[in-house]
Amino acid sequence: MEKWNESSVAEFLLTGLSEDPHVQVYLVMLFLVLYMTTLVGNTILITAYATEQRLHTPMYFFLVNLSFLDICYSTVIQPNMLVQFLSVRKSMSFSACVCQMFAYMLPGCTECVLLALMGYDRYVAISFPLRYNIIMSKPVCITMASCCWISGSAMSVLDTVVILLLPFCGRNVIDHFFCEATALLKLACADTFITEMVIFGTGVYGLLMPTFIIILSYVRILIAIMGIRTAAGRYKAFSTCASHLIVVFMFYGTTIFMYMKPSSKKSGYLDKIVSVFYTVIPPMLNPLIYSLRNKDVKMAMQKITRTQLIP
């Protein structure tokens, strides 16, 4: 087994999204706006949950966990991305790169499991409305959220360790805008088959299994909705799931493309673009999607905004 200190690479160079200085200026402005929108939107959502008693339900409890994960996810990647845009030499030390890789995997893996549990929550709410508060009690919700964090931590630690066991002794140019695991894996100067299989295995557990749970939940939800006699009732039941479905398609689609496809030694610009769509766009859109489709959240956000603007 390789030792961690066998790596002779002291730092990595990132290619970023563009090498054109003029394009980088526009990218800085664009991603700064996206990052600030992410922080403001998710912070307001968390504040709304903390201040509004009527939002203290299982659905909003999981939504707050999602918002916190999105803030962590974005903060790990985007501030450094902005610095890289403005830097002539886009470099990161070996230790900083590894820390960033682990720090983005942790909320990312946790969010994969959390979205599956949010699908189960919607299934219970629609299929067993009278027993919903009993089934999804506070202790149960806390246990489910804890399982998400434990699972996410275990997957991110495992992936980070198996990558650290590889020697990095030559190439040090990462064809990406952050220390993404698969991009870093391509620089190892040893056979990476076992490492790739471990990462694929965590991908099956963290992506495909939650996807199966979500599909199963929505099949049962669809059956329950078809049993509702009134059109208004069916519409109300479906509308409670629409926001979650949008987030699931947006996050899982791009993540599965990145981590479940066959590996290739060639890094493509397409991988960077896809990475933007699962590291930058979902954290920004999640609070907008949920607030725009939810009357209670909109009212709570409006109340907070008025309180802050009007002393």
Q: What would the two tokens of residue 259 be?
A: 């981590």
Q: Report the amino acid identity of residue 267.
A: S
Q: What angle do CA 275, 281, 284 make, to 5 degrees?
A: 145
For residues 4 and 161, give the distance between their C-alpha atoms in angstroms, rounded to a whole number: 9
Q: What would the two tokens of residue 210 be?
A: 């939650």
For residues 73 and 271, give the distance between their C-alpha atoms in angstroms, rounded to a whole number: 18
What local confidence, expressed as pLDDT, does residue 262 receive? Answer: 64
What local confidence, expressed as pLDDT, does residue 248 receive? Answer: 87
- Furthest-apart CA atoms within the chain: distance in Å: 68
State the alpha helices, DSSP H only, in the chain.
21-51, 58-86, 94-127, 132-135, 138-164, 181-185, 193-203, 209-226, 231-259, 269-279, 281-292, 295-309
Beta strand 11-14 with 173-174 is parallel
Nearby residues of 207 by Cβ (< 8 Å), 6 or more positions away? 112, 252, 255, 256, 259, 260
Is residue 62 over pLDDT 90? yes
HSE-CB of 159 using CA atoms within 13 angstroms:
32
For residues 262 and 197, give the distance between their C-alpha atoms in angstroms, rounded to a whole number: 11
Per-position b or e across 47-79, b if 16+ CB within 10 A of its CB: bbbeebeebebbbbbbbbbbbbbbbbbbbbbbe
Name the fold adopted by 4-309.
Answer: Rhopdopsin 7-helix transmembrane proteins (1.20.1070)
Is residue 5 over pLDDT 50? no
Span 243-275, pLDDT tens digits: 788 888 888 888 887 777 666 555 567 778 888
195 touches 162 (CB < 8 A): yes
Q: pTM of the predicted model, to two decimals? A: 0.88
For residues 186 and 176, give the distance between their C-alpha atoms in angstroms, rounded to a whole number: 12
What are the phi and psi torsion angles at 93 (to 5°)? -65, 160
Rg for the chain, CA atoms, rounded: 21
145 touches 61 (CB < 8 A): yes
179 touches 76 (CB < 8 A): no
For residues 68 and 286, give the distance between their C-alpha atoms in angstroms, rounded to a whole number: 11
For residue 278, give the nearest of 78, 114, 96, 85 by alpha carbon: 78
What local confidence, expressed as pLDDT, does residue 3 receive? Answer: 45
State mean pLDDT over 282-301.
Answer: 75
What local confidence, expressed as pLDDT, does residue 287 receive? Answer: 83
For residue 151, give the nearest of 112, 197, 198, 200 by alpha carbon: 112
Span 97-133, pLDDT tens digits: 999 999 999 999 999 999 999 999 999 988 888 899 9
